[in-house]
A and B are shown apart, each in its own frame.
Chain A
Amino acid sequence: MTGTTAKVDVTCTVNGERRTLTVHPMARLLDVLREQLRLTGTKEGCGEGECGACSVLLDGALVNSCLVPVLQVAGAEIKTIEGVTDGAELHAVQQAFIETGGAQCGICTPGMVLAAVCLLEQNPAPTDADIRNGLAGNLCRCTGYMKIFDAVVRACQRAGSAR
């Protein structure tokens, strides 16, 4: 979106930090994150909401940021992959992805990690079917998903033993 529409100010919280962004109202959240905020961990795979590489958490819900006009995030809380890590400390899901081989080329990984984080927040003890359905909006072409399922199971087990 450019030229013809006037820019507006949109205030939201990104990875815990309050931001006021001057943007074209219909700009894709994906582009604002990547180009304006340089949060390039969010990837574009298809631009039409099929692949999930651009997944972010919007008020705790998993969304495809390529389908979200930025005006829609006014007042919302956004978490990107950069906000999943707590300082230098990896999230249990990220650690499990490294251990089980859940990341290969890595391009779907940020979205896949967010999908898994979202799933476990909503359902700390998912069944195999829950895991499959929870991740079904995120395409991976490298792994055949087996090692990603392993990662989610391992992250659950860790969380379970920590409680």
Chain B
Amino acid sequence: MQTNIVGQSVPRKEGRAKVTGAARYVDDLHMDGMLYGATVRSPQPRGRISAIKFDPAIAWDEFIVVTARDIPGENAVALILLDQPYLAAEFVNHREEAILLLAHEDKYLLERARRAVTIEIEPLPPVFTLAESLAQKEIIWGEDNVFKSYLVDKGNVDEVWAQAAFIVEGEYETGAQEQLYIEPNGVIATANADEGVTVWGSMQCPYYVHKALLKLFALPEDKIRVIQTETGGGFGGKEEYPSMIAGHAALLSLKAGGRPVKIIYDRAEDMAATTKRHPSRTRHKTAVAPDGKLLGMEIDFVVDGGAYATLSSVVLSRGTIHAAGPYYCPHVRINARAVATNTPPHGAFRGFGAPQSIFALERHLDKVAQVVGLSPAELRRRNFIREGETTATGQVIREPVDMAGLLARAFALTDYEAKRARFARENEGRSLQRGIGFASFMHGAGFTGSGEVYLQSIVGAEADETGRVRILAASTEIGQGTNTIFAQIAADALKIDFALIEVAQPDTRSVPNSGPTVASRTCMVVGKLVESAVLGLRQTLQRGGLLTESYTSDDWRAACRAHVAQHGALRSFSRYTPPPGIKWDEGKYQGDAYGAYAWAVYVAEVTVDTLTYEVRVDDFVAVQEVGKVVHPVLAAGQIEGGVAQAIGFTLYEQVVWDEGRMRNNQMTNYIIPTAADIPPIRVFFEEQPYAYGPGGAKGIGELPMDGGAPAILNAIEHATGVAFNHVPLMPEALMASLSK
């Protein structure tokens, strides 16, 4: 009998296929009669399409050509709203918006043809920035350019200003960030009247694609089939966009009489046309008592959603709820808005709004500490939330939380206090200035508020006559380790060999909808359903008298064999039910925003070169409490990867906008950290098992994106004495400030 595989670093299920190059990604698949598809896009940020011209030098009758008129169902990507068209018909609202599709069996002729289509547009005045959108320079969406607004109102912040010993204000900005999965977006689709639509693709959320194609083709559910192929990274960038590209390929296939159509974006197209992290601006006004206790916080949080609503309302929600951080404050008002601009829609990216608002808060609290005359650490210690206290949404923290303990451990691991003093002393007169800073934060796991209840996720498990157990879930393996942790959770619940567990390839024809692979929910929420689904198998065997209370893997196999012989297939399904006592008021934005939070303190050590204006991160320590760690190597891998992305977000990754289009849409000039740039990332876990997670686990995936940017900028302020309040912080900005 094998026990406690949860907590062990077993080899990744699909590891061998990945290290040998045998793993098949969508571009590695070839089908007979396959055509390649391409997209003709808007050259203008906003306007009316006046003409589409085809160069007569091209033999157009050899090409499949699709426009909005060829759409059999509704011309809208079904997500939250139905405002984004699959193909612009009359108006365009951002550059690179899809207008026309082409397919041909020769991809080189296809590219020549794509360039031979001219789209003529009568321009309308565009809006490019969050400030212009808020000022309603033009109304480009709805009545006021606002996709969504939230008000969180705890206590009465209006009454605190008069009693405050200190009032501290600040403004903070974050830029767009490209997910830059190394495998670009891609799909293959077939579509015909008899069999419906089948899509194979790189994606996080097969059922999002399924839902969108239902509307696009006006077909019944069983006529749409979506299969996830091995996926080369997502980070949110393959949450909603695959619905678009899948629809495009399927529309081409339908017109091509059902021949398979493959669309693979090249890097430039992927970077220019698909989603990025929402740019943000946050204003803080904070009332503080003489002893440094937070009395009141007023926070104005705005994100730029781009041209269509897509996921902005939920990105805004997560950012809003995280805006006041892991602190207790009796009076909090958060005004939050997502606004429209004429840029490609911004979308999901690891952290989903939280890195933006946490950046603002954790920079701001260093400023508050300075004004109050406390160290950044002491100010936070006096305000850390404790068990029994309430968050900004009035959620009572019912789990043991020890932010001060995490802080103490992170400081001990980095020798923070000594370095804080020593660097300040040694920097005098040197061109290389060193600094150390930190951020403390939390990240909620699972969908916000009632989201998980609405999702009604289902996971299935089936056992065959050999005793093999297959997990049936739509949750995707995108590198984070879904296959492996699901198998661990199942093996541990059943106390059978890990090797007996398989995880089915997500295919909407054969797996139930376990919800999207987003929001740090796969382990905590879906993993719990895996646990209960497989326990259902055991219950059936035990009730049937085929399995005793304690058993070996061999007993399990024998019981499965007997069951299948007597009764046929052995299957069990489990549907989500919320943990007891979870309440959320969507109207007031009050209540239990998340079932559980991960808690963390991250410390960054930097060197700022005051001659070249380069910043180097020398050391990075990430201490977090994520419940039970299911797989130490995979968990550390999540943290290290997230921290690396946060370092990129802070110091390297600048999206250069040119009238609503990304100008540096190449890996050559959009720079992510390389092996030579990255500091040692040292990862430490505290484990505080969560009662409603599988084996005690909580969520982990997004957390590491949250703390890097403020920790690094806090360290840069320590090094240079200059408060920078925006990311990415490029050398030009350092030069402008430091050379004064």
A residues near B (Cβ < 8 Å) are 1-3, 34, 38-48, 50-51, 53, 80-82, 84-85, 90, 94-95, 97-101, 103-110, 113, 131-133, 135-149
Say which size band chain B's interface belongs to: 35 or more
- Chain A to chain B contacts (Cβ below 8 Å), 18 pairs: A38-B30, A41-B22, A45-B184, A46-B666, A48-B667, A51-B182, A82-B21, A98-B12, A105-B233, A107-B232, A110-B21, A136-B675, A141-B182, A141-B235, A141-B672, A142-B479, A144-B637, A146-B640
- How many Å lie between the Cα of A158 and that of B533 in the bound state? 41
Contact of A138 with B667 at beta-carbon distance under 8 Å, contacts A2-B108, A101-B633, A144-B681 already known: no
B residues near A (Cβ < 8 Å) are 9, 11-12, 14-25, 27-28, 30, 106, 108-109, 179-184, 230-235, 266-267, 478-481, 633-634, 636-637, 640-645, 666-668, 672-676, 678, 680-681
Contact B633 A147 (CB under 8 A): yes
Contact A106 B640 (CB under 8 A): no
Contact of A104 with B106 at beta-carbon distance under 8 Å, contacts A46-B666, A141-B641, A144-B640 already known: no
Contact B18 A103 (CB under 8 A): yes
For B634, the chain A residues whose CB sits under 8 A away are: 101
Contact of A40 with B28 at beta-carbon distance under 8 Å, contacts A98-B16, A101-B9, A104-B479 already known: yes
* Interface of B (DSSP majority class): loop
Contact B20 A81 (CB under 8 A): yes
- How many Å lie between the Cα of A108 and that of B18 in the bound state? 9
Q: Point out the residue from A34, A39, A106, A149 that lies within 8 Å of B14, measured CB to CB.
A: A106
For A42, the chain B residues whose CB sits under 8 A away are: 21
Contact B109 A149 (CB under 8 A): no
- How many Å lie between the Cα of A94 and that of B19 in the bound state? 6
- How many Å lie between the Cα of A53 and that of B678 in the bound state? 19
Contact B668 A142 (CB under 8 A): no
* Minimal beta-carbon separation of B663 from chain A (angstroms): 16
Contact A103 B676 (CB under 8 A): no
Contact of A98 with B15 at beta-carbon distance under 8 Å, contacts A40-B24, A81-B21, A145-B675 already known: yes
* Minimal beta-carbon separation of B202 from chain A (angstroms): 9
Contact A141 B233 (CB under 8 A): yes
- How many Å lie between the Cα of A96 and that of B235 in the bound state? 25
Contact A1 B479 (CB under 8 A): no
* Interface of A (DSSP majority class): loop
Query: Which 10 interchain pairs have the tightest Cβ spacing?
Result: A41-B21, A105-B479, A107-B232, A106-B18, A144-B644, A81-B21, A144-B640, A104-B479, A40-B28, A50-B667
- How many Å lie between the Cα of A10 and that of B249 in the bound state? 35
- How many Å lie between the Cα of A144 and that of B620 in the bound state? 12
Contact A143 B676 (CB under 8 A): no
For A107, the chain B residues whose CB sits under 8 A away are: 25, 181-183, 232-233
- How many Å lie between the Cα of A85 and that of B532 in the bound state? 40
Q: Point out the residue from A47, A98, A145 that lies within 8 Å of B11, measured CB to CB.
A: A98
Given A40-B21, A141-B180, 20 more contacts at CB 8 Å? A3-B109, A34-B28, A41-B21, A44-B27, A48-B267, A48-B667, A50-B666, A82-B21, A90-B16, A90-B19, A98-B11, A98-B15, A101-B9, A103-B12, A103-B19, A104-B479, A104-B637, A106-B19, A108-B232, A144-B644
- How many Å lie between the Cα of A145 and that of B673 in the bound state? 10
Q: Point out the residue from A43, A97, A98 that lies within 8 Å of B232, measured CB to CB.
A: A43
For A40, the chain B residues whose CB sits under 8 A away are: 21, 24-25, 27-28
Contact A43 B183 (CB under 8 A): yes
Contact B21 A101 (CB under 8 A): no
- How many Å lie between the Cα of A147 and that of B637 in the bound state? 7
* Most chain A CB atoms below 10 A, which of B17, B23, B30, B231: B23
Contact A105 B667 (CB under 8 A): no
* Most chain A CB atoms below 10 A, which of B17, B481, B667: B667
For B9, the chain A residues whose CB sits under 8 A away are: 101
- How many Å lie between the Cα of A135 and that of B680 in the bound state? 15
Contact of A90 with B680 at beta-carbon distance under 8 Å, contacts A106-B230, A148-B675 already known: no
Contact A45 B20 (CB under 8 A): no
Contact A53 B20 (CB under 8 A): no
Q: Point out the residue from B11, B181, B675 that lies within 8 Å of A105, measured CB to CB.
A: B181
Contact A48 B668 (CB under 8 A): yes
Closest residue of B by beta carbon distance from A105? B479
- How many Å lie between the Cα of A38 and that of B479 in the bound state? 24
- How many Å lie between the Cα of A82 and that of B672 in the bound state? 28
For A141, the chain B residues whose CB sits under 8 A away are: 179-182, 233, 235, 641, 645, 672
* Minimal beta-carbon separation of B427 from chain A (angstroms): 25
* Minimal beta-carbon separation of B484 from chain A (angstroms): 10
- How many Å lie between the Cα of A100 and that of B678 in the bound state? 18
- How many Å lie between the Cα of A142 and that of B681 in the bound state? 13
Contact A51 B667 (CB under 8 A): yes
- How many Å lie between the Cα of A81 and that of B21 in the bound state? 6
- How many Å lie between the Cα of A113 and that of B15 in the bound state? 13
Closest residue of A by beta carbon distance from B233? A105
- How many Å lie between the Cα of A156 and that of B653 in the bound state? 33
